[in-house]
């Protein structure tokens, strides 16, 4: 799969996930197999204003090539400035634009999965990004639409092609679905039929490498985007590489091997935070994902989930049964789930699908979703 000048094999992209896809996690995933590995969502306003937290978030490990940044923005002028800054300061090799985030603090500003409803605003943002990107490929990630009554993905896909976007990725859910229900893979096939000039990537309900291959075969998409399926499972990217190369070999680590990865992950996070305690606190959310399916006593789980230092975490990891084999039937949903009763939008957002006014206070100065 080619995304602009970048050749990607296997045709796999690590989805940007707030609080997850920081350098330590990306490195763990990248060590397992090839693909594109995208950083957490960065707001364009925070980038152009050089917000200190945002500038830390766009750091890459020296081993990371190509470097991929995902931007979130609503104002075409600010998006253009952010893209130009990335090019001029050599901050990345690939830019992805977020039109898929469903969280209320994003959609109520008109951003994320709310924005493609405004077709002309979407077009202006894409034109600003592509015209300032120079040799860097610009891609987009989106959802089907706001809800089943306001689907936008086919229009957005055609606009992306017309404005010079290098690839489009579709999370086959609406914003209202959030992460609930079942991903509509047939919508990926419809998008591929409508957008044949550039690669189309599918996203949603890929819990194993076999799911990824099945999605490609069923929909005809050119590649896949993996999000929640790799939580606590960076070795999924080795499975994906094997699967796309035609191998049936799959990684099935023992609990001891998982524990070693957990320790490396936590150690890596200490380099991203100002304090070890903050790093270990951030790591706690990963504990349940790593241990899913394994038999681990409640006291040890509690010790790991409440550790506040590397030594405390290591002490808990030392109590695990290192010889315990990989549990069966663990290729199942993990991470966020559930639907929304409604999608929060700016006042009057649905009145006109073609206006291109930027909502007041649309641009956030806080990165990370």
Spatial separation of the C-alpha atoms in residues 240 and 12, rounded to whole Å:
8
> Token match 């049936």: residue?
248
Residue 81 token pair = 């400035």
Please give the full DSSP string across 198-216, using - where no structure is assigned: S-EEEES---SHHHHHHHH
- Name the DSSP letter for residue 146: S
**Residues 140, 95: Cα–Cα separation, whole Å:** 8
Q: CB–CB of 14/38 below 8 Å?
A: yes
Residue 151: strand, helix, or coil:
strand
Check: CB of residue 290 under 8 Å from CB of residue 232.
Answer: yes
Instruction: Please give the backbone phi and psi of residue 166, each rounded to the nearest 5 degrees, phi first.
Output: -85, -25
Residue 298, C-beta contacts closer than 8 angstroms, at least 6 positions apart: none
Active site residue 101: yes
What is the token pair recorded at 312?
A: 């405390």
3-class state of residue 358 by DSSP: coil
Residues belonging to the chain: 369
Q: Which of 101, 221, 230, 272 is catalytic?
A: 101
Asked if 196 contacts 154 with a C-beta cutoff of 8 angstroms, the reply is no
Q: Which are the catalytic amino acids?
A: 101
């Amino acid at each position: 799969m080619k995304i602009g000048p970048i050749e990607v094999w296997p045709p796999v992209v690590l989805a940007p996930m707030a609080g997850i896809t920081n350098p330590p996690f990306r490195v763990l995933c990248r060590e397992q197999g090839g693909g594109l590995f995208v950083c957490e969502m960065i707001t364009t306003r925070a980038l152009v204003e050089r917000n200190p937290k945002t500038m830390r978030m766009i750091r890459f490990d020296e081993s990371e090539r190509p470097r991929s940044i995902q931007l979130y923005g609503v104002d075409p002028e600010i998006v253009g400035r952010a893209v130009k800054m990335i090019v001029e300061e050599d901050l990345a090799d690939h830019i992805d634009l977020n039109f898929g985030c469903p969280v209320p603090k994003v959609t109520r500003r008109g951003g994320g999965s709310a924005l493609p409803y405004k077709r002309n605003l979407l077009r202006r943002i894409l034109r600003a990004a592509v015209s300032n990107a120079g040799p860097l490929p610009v891609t987009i990630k989106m959802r089907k639409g706001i809800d089943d009554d306001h689907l936008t993905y086919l229009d957005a896909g055609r606009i992306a092609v017309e404005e010079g976007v290098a690839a489009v990725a579709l999370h086959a859910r609406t914003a209202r679905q959030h992460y609930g229900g079942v991903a509509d893979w047939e919508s990926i096939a419809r998008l591929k039929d409508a957008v044949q000039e550039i690669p189309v990537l599918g996203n949603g309900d890929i819990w194993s490498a076999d799911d990824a291959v099945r999605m490609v075969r069923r929909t005809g998409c050119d590649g896949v985007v993996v999000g929640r399926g790799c939580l606590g499972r960076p070795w999924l990217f080795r499975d994906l590489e094997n699967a796309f190369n035609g191998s049936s070999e799959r990684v099935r680590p023992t609990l001891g091997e998982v524990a070693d990865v957990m320790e490396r992950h936590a150690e890596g996070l200490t380099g991203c935070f100002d304090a070890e305690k903050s790093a270990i606190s951030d790591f706690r959310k990963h504990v349940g994902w790593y241990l899913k399916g394994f038999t681990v006593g409640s006291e040890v789980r509690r010790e790991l989930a409440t550790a506040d230092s590397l030594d405390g975490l290591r002490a808990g990891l030392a109590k695990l049964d290192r010889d315990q084999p990989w549990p069966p039937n663990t290729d199942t949903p993990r991470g966020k789930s559930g639907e929304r009763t409604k999608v929060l939008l700016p006042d009057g957002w649905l009145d006109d699908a073609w206006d291109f006014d930027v909502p007041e206070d649309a641009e956030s100065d806080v990165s990370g979703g």
